[in-house]
């Protein structure tokens, strides 16, 4: 996967999270129209920049959270 496509997908995820603050894997797929692999790559990029964090829910499914501390 190319860096440019990961960055593009990261922007899509970032936009969704800035509007909703937290989304499950299923919600993120529905909202962004990205597949699992695209979400994993792009969210890894965003997590590496500390813009988001990912926590598994009680079903061990990832939930993506906007890192509010990033803004301050």
Q: What is the DSSP secondary-structure string of 22-46?
A: EEEHHHHHHHH---HHHHHHHHHHH
CATH of the domain at 7: 1.10.10.10
Check the CA dihedral 57-60-65-70 and report its sign.
Answer: positive
What confidence tens digit (pLDDT) does each residue in 10-37 have?
999 999 999 999 999 999 999 999 999 9
The predicted model gives 2-17 an average pLDDT of: 94
Task: Tell whether pTM > 0.95.
Answer: no
Overall number of domains in the chain = 1
Determine the 3-state secondary structure of 33 from DSSP: coil
- Radius of gyration (C-alpha) of the chain in whole angstroms: 11
């Amino acid at each position: 996967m190319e860096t440019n496509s990961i960055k593009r997908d990261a922007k899509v995820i970032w936009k969704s999270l800035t509007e909703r603050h937290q989304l499950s894997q299923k919600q993120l797929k529905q909202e962004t129209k990205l597949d699992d692999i695209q979400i994993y790559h792009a969210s890894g990029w965003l997590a590496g920049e500390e813009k988001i964090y990912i926590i598994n829910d009680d079903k061990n499914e990832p939930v993506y959270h906007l890192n509010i501390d990033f803004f301050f």
